[in-house]
C-alpha cells in the first residue's frame, strides 16, 4: 500500500515522502471504520429541493428544530439577496432596536421559503428567528461550541502523551 500511495503522490506532483509509513499504516488499520456518505450538492438542493423529505422532517417532532434552522438559513440567503447584507449586520454599532427591525424581515423571508416548499401553514420558533438575527452572519452557536470542543480535545491530545483514542 505504501508503494501505491507514493506513486499517487508522485503522479499529482507532491513529494512521495510527504505521507509517512506510520501514517499509511494507521490509516489502513482504521479503514474498516470509514463510511461513505453521499449527499446532494448545494446547487441541486437550491434548484430543486426534495420537498417531500422537507415536509416529512418538518412534521416530525424530533427533527422539526433542525428543519427550522434549514428554513431559516434559506431565508437568510433570500434576505441577503434582497438587502445586500446578512440580518443583524449594520453599518453602525449594533443595537437591540436594529436587530428587532430585521426579525420581521427574516420572518417574512422564512414564510416565503415555507410557502415555496408547500408548508404554508407551518410556523417557526420566534426565539429561533431572533437568535438567527442576533448572531449576525457569524457561526451558529451550537456549531461554534462543537468546534471549540473538538479544538480542546486536540489540545489535550497534544499536551498529554498518554492520551489514547477510544475505538
**Residues 6+ away with beta carbon under 8 Å from 132:** 72, 73, 76, 87, 88, 106, 140
Q: Residue 11 pLDDT more than 80?
A: yes
Residue 130 and residue 76: Cα distance in Å, rounded?
12
Q: Residue 165 pLDDT more than 70?
A: no
Q: Residue 99 pLDDT more than 90?
A: no
Cβ neighbours of 116 (radius 10 Å): 14
pLDDT of the residue at 131:
86
Give residue-wise pLDDT tens across range 109-152.
999 988 888 887 777 888 888 888 888 777 777 778 888 888 88
**Domain residue spans of the chain:** 2-38, 48-145
Q: Residue 167 pLDDT more than 60?
A: no
pLDDT of the residue at 9:
93
Helix (H, G, I), strand (E, B) or coil at 96: helix
Mean pLDDT computed over 18-44 = 88
pLDDT of the residue at 2:
92
- Cβ distance 131 to 139 under 8 Å? no
pLDDT of the residue at 53:
81
Q: Residue 12 pLDDT more than 90?
A: yes
DSSP letter assigned to residue 13:
T
CB-count exposure of residue 57 (10 Å: 0-12, 13-18, 19+):
middle
15 falls in which pLDDT band (50, 70, 90)?
A: very high
pLDDT of the residue at 109:
92
- pTM score, whole prediction: 0.60
Position with higher pLDDT, 158 vs 43: 43
Residues written for the chain: 167
pLDDT of the residue at 41:
84
Give residue-wise pLDDT tens across range 48-98.
777 788 788 877 888 788 888 888 988 999 998 998 888 887 766 555 567
Amino acid at each position: 500500500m505504501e508503494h501505491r500511495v507514493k506513486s499517487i503522490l508522485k503522479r499529482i506532483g507532491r513529494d512521495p515522502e510527504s505521507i509517512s509509513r506510520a501514517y499509511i499504516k494507521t490509516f489502513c488499520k482504521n479503514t474498516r471504520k470509514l463510511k461513505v456518505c453521499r449527499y446532494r450538492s448545494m446547487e441541486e438542493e437550491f434548484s430543486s429541493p426534495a420537498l417531500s423529505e422537507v415536509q416529512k422532517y418538518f412534521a416530525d417532532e424530533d427533527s422539526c428544530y433542525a428543519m427550522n434552522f434549514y428554513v431559516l438559513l434559506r431565508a437568510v440567503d433570500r434576505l441577503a439577496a434582497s438587502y445586500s447584507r446578512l440580518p443583524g449586520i449594520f453599518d453602525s454599532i449594533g443595537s437591540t432596536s436594529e436587530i428587532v427591525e430585521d426579525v420581521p424581515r427574516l420572518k417574512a423571508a422564512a414564510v416565503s421559503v415555507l410557502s415555496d416548499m408547500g408548508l404554508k401553514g407551518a410556523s417557526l420558533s420566534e426565539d429561533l428567528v431572533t437568535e438567527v438575527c442576533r448572531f449576525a452572519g457569524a457561526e451558529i452557536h451550537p456549531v461554534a461550541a462543537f468546534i471549540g470542543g473538538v479544538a480542546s480535545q486536540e489540545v489535550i491530545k497534544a499536551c498529554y502523551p498518554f492520551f489514547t483514542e477510544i475505538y
